[in-house]
Chains A and B, each alone.
Chain A
């Protein structure tokens, strides 16, 4: 028999006898499935959060904040300044003039549906230009807000996470009442966590006079950013800084997504170590119960190479079964699961969905295979090294 057919026949023999070792084989597979499910589950939180933050910011939208502020909440821009910014070069224009929106960002307390406790929900006062600036706002129900009216429209994520945001309901904030006239989506982006109203109506409600906090501007092209940025940052009347919206949101999401990824990788790494010990145990067990079989095979003339490879094949097969199971489990359990957490920069809620991406699934299968190979390698070498004569004597 040649080398390949030796491997083939021993491997087949090993795989066929798995049912005789159901208990320990299932243990190894479940151990690996658990690792994979936890890894995919935790990393899908970070993926989902990143997706919400990055799909919110496009490179051809710029945000203008007061110089020195790190987020919208701490920024402040006067009405006169917003007009100067709108006239700056590099901004796209339509029939109504430059496409900009001066905005006000505050938080309100609303009870979270899942826990019943109050959460800080972001509320944004916008100008009519906001819809053209973003370009991704789609109404799911109802209609857009009208300027000057106490009306709000609610992002889909916020609507499903916080109580009292159904279409037609009236929301009381302080001494003001606002009617919910629309529910919108924003391509999975950050705006879906927010409640929108007219900036002019929000200013008096929050005693902001005629000031705003940020100006969003659609650029004529992504390349026009430099021209726009130079014009507004060098203007002595302004004292502002500007960033591409994509960069701004990316830097806002850094802290939390790094944190989740670090913790997630640590947990999964530790679990992988645990599962590796489990897999090693299983495979050593599988070898030791078959010491005599293996010795017999060797005595019959099978080489030690095929024995090693066949053990690896068995261990890999178990790992792949476990890995696939775990990945499938994580996908069913986590993908699209809606959750919300705090954006540490503004202390407001960001709602987003867990995202189990194909890349994550692939990563999971690769990890499972590595675990399987490592778990099988040492027992396999041990099996191949057993002296035939003494192994045959063993009970």
Chain B
């Protein structure tokens, strides 16, 4: 530690160069953070998936519905612990741009299936009692509380381009009775949940059908077997099913959006390669300029190892200043929230990515400094002083 002041005075020697290098590393890590956030936004569902949950949908595609009478047949299969169902409502508030992740659900079983969502007990009781009651996610609620004055007791008109009501009415009305919060960071807090019964009685088509089932299995290790058993139960019926783990379903959804992972990795690699070159080159220049001084240091008795350490410390300090600043700004971007909540509700810079970022900062510092550091270490005193 006693050589730290030496490292810092070296950094101060060409202030402009140090500042520019720090800034370019800063930019690299803001980018790194942003890409992590975007990747998480696209694939967030996968890491949030419950290991003991299956999704059961129509074999042809998710837009086909299943009869609600399947509920008991699935519940009675061995290894099944619980079951609930969801349907795609596709509603929007006032304008198609204000898309809502809206689902008619069974109020008795829905929240038991998804313990990552929590509702205050009195609100839960109010919801179960109110036929047209709706529980909304905190993220969604806060957004419209600000812009449209949503509060508990507000009646919200929702249009669904898919589901028309009897009497040719396109608008459904829901009363907000509760707000759910999430216990897992990054879980979806923008859902709009209401009674299936209210929905099923009101709609004109497909009565008695639901979108897909969510099934809890007793033993997560046996999930694939149970999925196969469910599919076998309904094979060759009018409504064949496809059961898969929640993670597999989310993975499938994410990979449909595109080869995001590949594209992001490619972009990231390009960025890092570039920044590495810039930082490494700057370090090299800084050491070359100081050949004589390093010679003097060595003549004074600084060991080769110490010289190596000093140069590496210098590049690591530069990387740390820029990298930490960059990661902080990325975290702030995540906290500011998603700019497209309708499309990507989850906006989170996860701790795992933050740690990866920190490791990358240190690796970048060491790799950028290693060549000039080795050069400095191998420099012979006589050669250095002769220059």
Contact = CB atoms under 8 A, between A and B. Distances in A.
Contacts of A23: 281, 284
Interface in B247-291: 251-252, 255-259, 263, 267, 270-271, 273-275, 277-278, 281-282, 284-285
Given A70-B161, A255-B343, A270 B31 contact: yes
Contacts of B16: 284
Given A38-B270, A74-B90, A281-B21, A109 B59 contact: yes
B61 A107 contact: yes
Contacts of B84: none
Interface of B: 16-17, 20-21, 23-24, 27-28, 30-31, 34-35, 38, 59-64, 90, 96, 159-162, 164, 170, 236, 240, 242, 251-252, 255-259, 263, 267, 270-271, 273-275, 277-278, 281-282, 284-285, 339-340, 343
Nearest to B342: A255
A75 to B, nearest CB: 8
Contacts, number: 145
Contacts of A193: none
Nearest to B168: A239
A342 to B, nearest CB: 5
Interface residues of A, number: 59
Contacts of B281: 23-24, 27, 281-282
A18 interface: no
A161 to B, nearest CB: 11
Nearest to B278: A278
B34 A344 contact: no
A30 interface: yes
A222 interface: no
A281 B282 contact: yes
A274 B256 contact: no
Nearest to B285: A285
Interface in A290-337: none
Contact of A118 (B23, B252, B339): B252
A174 B20 contact: no
Contacts of A342: 256-258
A347 B256 CA distance: 9
A68 B170 contact: yes
Contacts of A118: 252
Contact of B31 (A70, A117, A271): A271
A108 B170 CA distance: 28
Interface in A15-36: 23-24, 27, 30-31, 34-35
Contacts of A340: 258
A108 B274 contact: no
Contacts of A347: 62-63
A277 interface: yes
